[in-house]
Structure 1
């Protein structure tokens, strides 16, 4: 049975800031202050709602590998950011989450800015029992070609 459906603090803040000038930029920067390793990819959270998150990042030298393409681990960072923010926006404020596993497929190279999309096709019930939620994330280049797919397992538990 679904528990309280009060949105997470992050989703409340997003909903207030997203329509303001520089609101998405401020929100993205605040996320990077809370989790500094995301700063390395210079992400911009473009869309956030229960069951969906879209994050973009520029193609710049700091995310390149030795071949001059978007680095595999930078792509994993994109996937984890999109998946984590989507999970946070989806679960009720009475619950918490933590990633416990991730599988990644590298399908191609990217030489452009990238977009990571985490999207649930259906939102499960969050009750008193812990659940493992598999979050699919696709990372694509500017042409929409998916070059990385990730499946992140998020453990969802009620807050103590």
Structure 2
């Protein structure tokens, strides 16, 4: 997979710069949560970000439990969305914009541990003049590496309007 990282958006460039400083991942994640406050509800930490891949973890804590004491389904969706959104941001060139327009989720099991969400594209499409729907697969894993939630997020990607 060959990607021109120089063409990626400003957010990815900020990620790259913060990798050079102590606690860079933490600082970057806090900035993401400031911009999109709902993500704070799961206490995420972005560990890895590059075109075609994002890996995010979150602790197991009472605030994300359902009535059964397991990781809540919607908290799992939140983890899928942060990984999918950040991976898309790192992948889509700076000449384009994206927005999630749908998500399909499969709940496979219960989780009682901290979780990790991984968004991965095996093939990065060409982003041209025509809008496309990019399907972003995301797995949410428990601490043992078992996928307990899988999601597909549909991202509409189009060229930015020039003024």
Bin of the TM-score, shorter chain as denominator length: over 0.9
Name the residue aligned to 2:59.
58
Structure 2 SS opposite 1:132: strand
Partner of residue 146, structure 2: 145
Q: Aligned equivalents of 1:101 and 1:23: distance in 2?
A: 31
Aligned length: 159
What is the CA–CA distance in structure 2 between the aligned matches of 1:54 and 1:3, rounded to whole Å? Answer: 20
Gaps of 5+ in 2: none
Structure 1 residue 96 and structure 2 residue 68: aligned? no
The residue aligned with 1:123 is: 124
Following the alignment from structure 1 to structure 2, what is the Cα–Cα distance between the partners of residues 82 and 18?
18
Segments of 4+ moved more than 3 angstroms: 2-5
Shift in Å at residue 3 of structure 1?
Answer: 10
The DSSP-based 3-state class of the residue aligned with 2:67 is: coil
Match of 1:79 in 2: 80
Contact 1:3 1:127 in 2 (8 A): no
1:18 Cα offset (Å)? 1.9
- Matched position secondary structure for 2:7: coil
* CA deviation after TM superposition for structure 1 residue 7, in Å: 1.4
Q: Is the 8 A contact 2:135 2:154 kept in 1?
A: yes
- Between the aligned partners of 2:49 and 2:97, the Cα distance in structure 1 is 18
Q: Is the 8 A contact 2:5 2:51 kept in 1?
A: no
Question: Could you state the TM-score of these two structures normalised by the residue count of structure 2?
Answer: 0.95
Q: Structure 1 length normalisation: TM-score?
A: 0.97
Which residue is equivalent to 1:32?
Answer: 33
Distance 1:9 1:54 in 2: 19
Q: CA-to-partner distance for each residue in 1:85-137, whole Å, 9 max, x for gaps?
A: 00000010000000000000000000000000000000000000000000000
Structure 1 residues 120, 104: closer, same or farther in 2, change over 3 A?
same
Q: CA deviation at 1:20?
A: 1.5
Kindly state the Cα deviation for residue 19 of structure 1 after the two structures are TM-superposed.
3.3
